[in-house]
Structure 1
Amino acid sequence: MTPGVSTYHQQVAAEKRALILRAATDLFSELGYDKTSLARVAERAGVSTATMFKQFPTKADLFEAIVLQFWAADPGAGMSPPELGDPRVALQTLGHRYAQLLHRPGMAGLHRMVIAEAPRFPELGRVQFDLGKEPFFELVRDYVESEATGGRLRVPDGVRATTEFLGMISNFVLWPQLLLQEWSPTDRAIAETVESAVETFLARYMTRDGDSR
């Protein structure tokens, strides 16, 4: 197979994968996880069942791919740790990144579906946590604890501090959407929430040596 043909087939496969993920996301939201079959997803996506099962052998594989897609909102940026030395700048970067992920279209719907189906399919909650929330949480926790080791933050409990910081953002950006369909904060309101979370966090945990202002 020539490189050109190989690239073409890869592109076609990627396009079909995107159609499948979009169709599955819609159907999971409309019908729930239990009532959504792979055959129905294939029909909605306009692909053959053979293509469907080649891409995603099980419904669990499909759900994992959806979770990964939602939490990788900007694959080009990646999720590399910020540089140490300026907690204010780093936390602003991390906070805005987190808000961007939570505010991505469909994220609230994904959370609603997981919450609704978790009693019967507890593995859905585990996948959402392990592949989605936990990696970002650990990224922030590792950064906070590294700054504490360097003496710029005074953090007795890295897990608690990280939970407080991310919670201030998610409590405004994401959680109201689970109950209020009309909840749609402006970009400015989200940015102000992130800045407030950063300043509140630093007021609690920054040492005098860590203040770069």
Structure 2
Amino acid sequence: MAAQKRTSIIEAASKLFLDSGYDGTSLARIAEAAGVSKATLFKQFTTKAALFEAIVTEYWRVDDEEAPVPEPGNLRAGLETIGRRYAGLLTQPGMAALFRIVIAEVPRFPELGETQFRLGKMPYFESVRRYLVAEKTAGTARLDDAEMAATQFLGMISNYVFWPRMLLPHWEPDDSAIAGAIDQAVLTMLARYGTSKTSR
């Protein structure tokens, strides 16, 4: 029941932040929209900033037990797994709305952008960077700058799967188009960073 209420609060807050703005949404309105008492909401989230942090963390959450970072040794398979997982994160319901909230409010509330970067994007990005370093150690990737390589790989996927949604509300590539974009990103990475040990 507590988990259901938390989900209801996060969903209601996300919608209200998008519709009315971060500043224009009170915790009382969120409680009403979520169908919970103000006491229940305040028990879980004492401030609006804490609630926004929970929203960001929820959208970027990857279950490490169900979706562990790939083991090094097969660069193609590892990148395919990471690519599919990243596309799944970016296309989940609400992710585009979360970015729109941040983009709209960051001039007045820069801490929202910092929260999205610190709790959302960077932990995921860092896991990809560490994976690429592990592949280099295993001899299946040749790279001097794992941070740049991670930026390139994730950027190739997000530039097709996600960023057009910021300007084109009906941008909805189908599963085959998304899979094709991931495949092309993987092939580009293999051509640039693969070694003789890489499974091609």
Q: TM-score range by the shorter chain?
A: over 0.9
Question: What residue number does 1:9 align with?
Answer: none
- 2:71 aligned with 1:83, yes or no? yes
Q: Distance in 2 between matches of 1:128 and 1:112?
A: 11
Q: Distance in 1 between matches of 2:165 and 2:63?
A: 22
Aligned mate of 1:177, from 139, 162, 165? 165
Deviation at 1:76, TM superposition (A): 5.8
Aligned mate of 2:29, from 36, 40, 43? 40
State which structure, 1 or 2, has the greater radius of gyration over its C-alpha atoms.
1
Q: Distance in 1 between matches of 2:117 and 2:155?
A: 15
- 2:150 aligned with 1:186, yes or no? no
Residue segments in structure 1 that go unaligned for 5+ positions in a row = 1-11
Q: Secondary structure at the match of 1:171?
A: helix
Aligned mate of 1:135, from 104, 123, 133? 123
Letter in 2 for 1:145: V
Tell me if structure 1 keeps the 8 A contact 2:141–2:198: no
Residue segments in structure 2 that go unaligned for 5+ positions in a row = none
Question: What residue number does 2:51 align with?
Answer: 62
Question: What residue number does 1:122 align with?
Answer: 110
- 2:1 aligned with 1:26, yes or no? no
Q: CA RMSD in A?
A: 1.3
Aligned mate of 2:81, from 87, 93, 102? 93
Q: Find runs of 4+ consecutive structure 1 residues off by over 4 angstroms.
A: 73-76
Q: Distance in 2 between matches of 1:211 and 1:29?
A: 45
Deviation at 1:15, TM superposition (A): 1.7
Aligned mate of 1:111, from 99, 102, 107? 99
Letter in 2 for 1:38: L
**Identical aligned residues as a percent:** 57
Aligned mate of 1:198, from 170, 186, 200? 186
